[in-house]
Amino acid sequence: MRRADRLFQIVQYLRGGRLVTARTLAERLEVSDRTIYRDIADLQSTGVPIDGEAGVGYVMRSGYYLPPLMFTREEIVALVAGIRMVRAWGGMAMSRAANEALVKIELVLPKAERDQVVKTAETVEKPALAIAVRA
């Protein structure tokens, strides 16, 4: 895992509002406790409001805003293709959750990316129809 991904994951774990120990984070992220201590210190130095200390645990102060993720065009295509496959072949609950996720993604996409989503939808759904007809 890249360091940037690990730092992001630490922030995600701490956003839950519960005290989390360095040991727990280290086990989840498959790194040493010392790595977590360094990462927490680096996050704190950049302004991430993390309270706590080594040996006790860490918690993020409420109200911290993390800017939205930015996906590459290829990542968006992969996400949309996966969501559409879940909608086509998943159960009712998964299909409903996939629909909700797709709506959220489409709402924040610029027009060019939204057009790519439509194109991906056509590509992914046509094979699904072909399989259904053959069966």
Report helix, strand and coil shares of the chain as percent, to nearest 5.
Answer: 65, 5, 25
The residue with greater pLDDT, 71 or 133, is 71
Q: What is residue 70's DSSP assignment?
A: -
Domain boundaries, given as residue ranges, for the chain: 3-60, 73-134
Q: Which amino acid would we find at residue 28?
A: R
Is the distance from CB of 11 to CB of 43 less than 8 angstroms?
A: yes
pLDDT in tens, 91-129: 888 888 888 887 777 776 777 777 777 676 666 554 444
What's the CATH fold of domain 3-60?
Arc Repressor Mutant, subunit A (1.10.10)
pLDDT in tens, 40-86: 999 999 889 999 988 899 999 887 766 666 677 777 778 888 888 88
Measured distance CA(19)–CA(21) in Å, rounded: 7
Structure confidence at residue 131 as a pLDDT band (50, 70, 90): very low
pLDDT of amino acid 68: 60
Structure confidence at residue 15 as a pLDDT band (50, 70, 90): confident
